[in-house]
Amino acid sequence: MNYHVFPGGIMAHDHVTQARSVLGRLIEPGASSYDDYLDIAAEERADQVRSRLADVFRERPMFAGLMLRLDGHQIGVSTPARVASAGGTAGDAPEFGASDRAGLPGRSQQYKVIRFGCTTIGCPGTDVRSYYDPRTVPVCTVVAAHGMLALQR
Ligand SMILES: [Zn+2]
């Protein structure tokens, strides 16, 4: 079990409560149906989650809702309408730093699927993401010991 510790010392399930608070604008109150899960990390900021949600909803226009999940705990259901309305304030937050986003595939206006491939010669390990985050690069799906996959064009 991997417990995330917040700077304030909040542990374990409290981070679920905190996530509900931080991501409140992205969550549709009372919504209980969803098409898929979106796993989030405790350290992810609201604008980062919103950006990923926007990517998925853009990729899957038939989706009406996504259940945000943190360490297996259900946070709440986000909807395209919530993501769109939160975008005006949370999206592209200035403090995020324009330089951090520059050149990152998947952050552009035009949606792209980000493909990763194993660097071990002969290994077929690949993965696909709807975003690129250098802190959570996927590892080889065939042999985990191969380590992180490399970004492909
Ligand atoms: Zn591999």
How confident is the model at residue 54, as a pLDDT?
Answer: 93
User: 141 C-alpha vs ligand 1 centroid, how far in Å?
Assistant: 7
What DSSP string describes the chain?
A: ------TT---TTHHHHHHHHHTGGGB-TT----SEEEEE-TT--HHHHHHHHHHHHHH-TT---EEEEETTEEEEEE-HHHHHHHHHHHTT-GGG-HHHHTT-TTSSSS---EEEE--STT---EEEESS--GGGPPBPSS-GGG-BPEE--
Per-residue pLDDT, averaged over 61-84, amounts to: 91
Lowest-confidence pick of 13-17, 37-41, 148-152: 13-17
User: 89 C-alpha vs ligand 1 centroid, how far in Å?
Assistant: 41
Q: Pick the more confident residue, 117 or 2.
A: 117
User: 46 C-alpha vs ligand 1 centroid, how far in Å?
Assistant: 33
Q: What domains lie within the chain, and their CATH numbers?
A: 14-101 (3.90.1280), 114-151 (no CATH)
User: 4 C-alpha vs ligand 1 centroid, how far in Å?
Assistant: 29
Q: Is the pLDDT of residue 2 over 50?
A: no
Per-residue pLDDT, averaged over 16-27, amounts to: 87
User: 139 C-alpha vs ligand 1 centroid, how far in Å?
Assistant: 8
How confident is the model at residue 128, as a pLDDT?
Answer: 81
